[in-house]
Structure 1
């Protein structure tokens, strides 16, 4: 859809579009105002109960894990336990409850508005009905889902992180320690930086706020009349329309955000003093931080470059960058001074993948491979029972997702993919369409590095199979030891590299498992695998005597049976005959 050209066409398009937009906006606002108190109440009560109920446990367990941490030295532990942890633990209930109130109110109001506009999108049938219905029950369900995910983060994710802090040792057998002699100077300069930066930065933000207000309105009204930018697509209209109405609040929020940020920006002077072991460089940073903020705000508002504040060097080893504070801005080079076209991203869109979509894709793969492994007897009933209990099963919770990630990396390496090729062999996750959230880089970039390393290793089929089994079962040392994981590479160097790949993939998977929605999806996965195992047991259970389970010749079985893999446990004897080097299609299990 191209924006109209010409003054008359733009004016007519604006006249036709404005009543349509106002009607949807009023309807969405009515639903938002109606359900906002209910959603806010549910989310506030639910999250507050979780925070206050777990706060005593969090308090005691945090101190216990800090005292038992192997990577921190005695002096650092004392400083953290006396000055840092009390502030964080006291502020956590306040910040959590206030954030739940604000987040619940925002979600309860904005979710119905967004879904009201999405109800009239392309391809939707019975749009009038969906305009009134969409955003009502789905918002209530989403509110309970948010509370559920928040509880998983406060319970499972918290204890997982603290267990790592308590159990993992420092690298190179050297724990982290703090230089106590530099702490008084760092504290003094932090307070001084806060006292200087907060009033000055607040004054700068207030002076630039009128320019931000009128510049934003000018851009938004221009897009509204010409149906350009965010007004070009229906799904984006709510954001743009609300931006026009609430733009003054956005400006106030930007000013308040600058005031809050100035606290941390000024207090960072203490970090500079500690890192550089120089009180003078801390003073230089206080002055330079004013220049940094001034130039950054000029770049954001497209104002003239440079700053009226000096920018002294506050590092002993100067980093590569701009040497003249009045020269071209490093954050806005000359090639980007002209404003780009506002409709390019819509006429030539790049489909940006969302983190939740990638998470859903990962669990679909886990379900697919999990069902195959259940039919092959690789995932046992004990694994599922452990996964459902508090004990947990690393084979399912860590090994299975890590195995699916490894399959994606192997598939991408063989296809010479620039990014990561997903299971449909069509969609490719690259740096251009990846989710733009910063935390996603914590997983995406290491996976790209591992993919390139696997591609450079040029693994054989036997080495790939060995790596797959190692990734799947490395979380269960006893089973890995008792199971025939196949012939390891003859080279000790190659074997060590494969072991390192397995450990890194499982480490990345463990970090992904702390994602807020992971636990809920994982429980659904375990239930699906459990149902599949129950169906297999029910369909193959005779009245008495031995039980015969039909074995499918899946790709998984063919891949690993060719590599002489067999798994032994108390209840099953898997279909592989090491003497004849053949796969047995039916396995007899004696109860």
Structure 2
């Protein structure tokens, strides 16, 4: 869209757009009033039923795992047993309230956004889409939300607890706390909480008029010039609503500052414990106010830094409590960022920025990286099925019982490892997920979960580069990662691995174990299980039709019924296998 230049052009653009915008807003609001209560009821009742129904099992199993685990020391275990009832009793209450808020938000805003999205670029028959989009798809999406919550409560939670109960490695030590450090920590927290609450709340109140005026000024300028949030048609209703409700946003910011100040004060007690110093805890108490002031200055585009004192609250050598792995990840990420910034490999096409509001949301949900992973699992799954490294029993176990690490953990781990090998061979700065798409820290999705994965993957890529694998080693590695335990060096004895270098074998085993740990964490994300289950069903039917495996007739009928049901649910919500609203990334993993 071309932004109008000049006052008269901007005024005419605004005047001609307002009637069109008002009609779409009224239509979207009408659909929200009709569809919203139904979707909200589905999310609220479904999620609440799952959370409350599984709460007794969660309560009992949490205590069992905490008492049985050896990863927690005796002192910390006693404190956990004493204080666990409070969060566990609050869990169903918070779950019910959260389900209500999520249901209302989803039921109201999804039909409204779909109405404005229907008049976007590239949409044929805009009139019918304006009336139909966001109706049935919202109901199906609400059902999908309930399913994801069910997966998280029924599978992800118990997976976390099982990991807590696992046997520790020989080089691991239990986590515990020192009782002698607790008095000074409690005393620092007792002093820091009221002081930080008073000071941070005072800074927030002092800067709230500036936030109010600057926000109104920026939003009004964007409204007149059709820039910023007003450039996209679908964003206009929410940007316009932001002008009206901006005072409430300022009040919410002050309240959020007040609530966060309690955590600043409590963190001062944690610093006193970590540094074993009463003075360092008090220093953080003072520095926290300066840190907050500096953050708000950056947020409001005021002067850099802060005029408030900021004493050092870490001793030398413990500034960030970085482990060697954390430092390596930081150095690798920083080096790749610097090289990328210098403009090397400009011929590669990076992931495109989305052009519509819905695609922007999907980008923030890292849907493109998600699509690449599942597409890669689909391609490599076919190969492994044809080579006999995945059997019908493996797929049937995952489909019927929801378990099976060989399929849900080892297959994605091999796909990521293959990506690391390709990236190392091409000497890329990031991760080469296809022949012309390179993911770096510049275009990596801005999502905390995925941010935690980028650093380790870049470190592993550099390690793979130093290992310099041959083609025979890569082929053997594919078999080993799918069939062997890879827990200790003896697991690779008589495996046919071409290299006899014991150090190289140990490094590869460590890389595989770390990748499997990353995938295990990814598998606990609710949408992962739903999409991987769809992938497993599709692979199962395809392998039966091709004669690659002999499947069970009962399981085959169940899979066909489930696929037919999923196709009805995902037809309009853009969650089909291998792509999502045109944002999928083509993969060439073979």
What is the TM-score with the length of structure 2 in the denominator? Answer: 0.81
CA distance in 2, matches of 1:357, 1:460: 30
Q: Given the alignment, which residue of 408, 411, 417 partners 1:400?
A: 411
Shift of 1:24: 1.8
CA distance in 1, matches of 2:493, 2:241: 60
Shift of 1:539: 10
Shift of 1:309: 4.0
Residues 476 and 463 (structure 1 numbering): CA distance in 2 closer, same or farther, change over 3 Å? closer
Work out the number of aligned pairs and report it. Answer: 512
The equivalent residue for 1:68 is 68
CA distance in 2, matches of 1:356, 1:102: 24
* 1:24-103 equivalence runs, <5 A: 24-83=24-83, 85-103=84-102
The equivalent residue for 1:164 is 163
Conservation of the 8 A alpha-carbon contact between 1:469 and 1:485: no
The equivalent residue for 2:377 is 366
Shift of 1:410: 2.0
Q: Does 1:376 align with 2:387?
A: yes
Conservation of the 8 A alpha-carbon contact between 2:389 and 2:479: no
Shift of 1:396: 0.9
Conservation of the 8 A alpha-carbon contact between 2:351 and 2:437: no
CA distance in 2, matches of 1:305, 1:403: 46
Per-residue displacement from partner, 1:536-591 (whole Å, max 9, x unpaired)? 349999xxxxxxxxxxxxxxxxxxxxxxxxxxxxxxxxxxxxxxxxxxxxxxxxxx
Q: Does 1:530 align with 2:537?
A: no
Does the residue aligned with 1:532 lie in a helix, a strand or coil?
helix
Q: Given the alignment, which residue of 507, 530, 535 partners 1:520?
A: 530
Residues 239 and 418 (structure 1 numbering): CA distance in 2 closer, same or farther, change over 3 Å? farther
Q: Does 1:426 align with 2:423?
A: no
Conservation of the 8 A alpha-carbon contact between 1:467 and 1:502: no
The equivalent residue for 1:257 is 256
RMSD between superposed Cα atoms in Å: 2.8
Per mean C-alpha deviation after superposition, the further-off stretch among 189-198 and 396-405 is: 189-198
The equivalent residue for 1:356 is 367
Residues 86 and 202 (structure 1 numbering): CA distance in 2 closer, same or farther, change over 3 Å? same
Q: Does 1:16 align with 2:26?
A: no
Conservation of the 8 A alpha-carbon contact between 1:471 and 1:506: no
Residues 374 and 187 (structure 1 numbering): CA distance in 2 closer, same or farther, change over 3 Å? same
Per mean C-alpha deviation after superposition, the further-off stretch among 113-122 and 448-457 is: 448-457
Conservation of the 8 A alpha-carbon contact between 2:389 and 2:483: no
Does the residue aligned with 1:422 lie in a helix, a strand or coil?
strand
Q: Does 1:225 align with 2:224?
A: yes
Conservation of the 8 A alpha-carbon contact between 2:484 and 2:492: no
CA distance in 2, matches of 1:238, 1:29: 11
What is the TM-score with the length of structure 1 in the denominator? Answer: 0.81
Residues 191 and 148 (structure 1 numbering): CA distance in 2 closer, same or farther, change over 3 Å? farther
CA distance in 2, matches of 1:62, 1:145: 27
Shift of 1:467: 1.8
The equivalent residue for 2:281 is 282
Conservation of the 8 A alpha-carbon contact between 2:486 and 2:513: no
Q: Does 1:459 align with 2:469?
A: yes
Shift of 1:171: 6.6
The equivalent residue for 1:468 is 478
Q: Does 1:413 align with 2:416?
A: no
Shift of 1:482: 11
Conservation of the 8 A alpha-carbon contact between 1:217 and 1:247: yes
Where does the alignment leave 5 or more consecutive residues of structure 1 unmatched?
A: 322-347, 542-591
Conservation of the 8 A alpha-carbon contact between 1:399 and 1:473: no
Does the residue aligned with 2:526 lie in a helix, a strand or coil?
coil
Does the residue aligned with 1:172 lie in a helix, a strand or coil?
coil
Conservation of the 8 A alpha-carbon contact between 1:474 and 1:502: no
Residues 12 and 408 (structure 1 numbering): CA distance in 2 closer, same or farther, change over 3 Å? same
The equivalent residue for 2:179 is 180
Where does the alignment leave 5 or more consecutive residues of structure 2 unmatched?
A: 321-349, 355-362, 552-590
The equivalent residue for 2:557 is none
Shift of 1:270: 1.1
The equivalent residue for 1:112 is 111
CA distance in 2, matches of 1:523, 1:483: 34
Residues 392 and 461 (structure 1 numbering): CA distance in 2 closer, same or farther, change over 3 Å? same
Per-residue displacement from partner, 1:163-193 (whole Å, max 9, x unpaired)? 1111141673432221112223322332332
Residues 391 and 99 (structure 1 numbering): CA distance in 2 closer, same or farther, change over 3 Å? closer
Shift of 1:517: 0.4
Does the residue aligned with 1:517 lie in a helix, a strand or coil?
helix
- The runs of 4+ residues in structure 1 deviating greater than 6 Å are 318-321, 480-484, 538-541
Per-residue displacement from partner, 1:221-273 (whole Å, max 9, x unpaired)? 10111111222233433442332233233222212211211111111121022
The equivalent residue for 2:565 is none
Per-residue displacement from partner, 1:101-155 (whole Å, max 9, x unpaired)? 1111111111112111111111101111111111111111111111111111112
Conservation of the 8 A alpha-carbon contact between 2:47 and 2:99: yes
Residues 38 and 484 (structure 1 numbering): CA distance in 2 closer, same or farther, change over 3 Å? farther
Shift of 1:526: 1.6
Could you say which structure has the greater relative contact order, defined with CA pairs below 8 angstroms and 6 or more residues apart?
A: 2
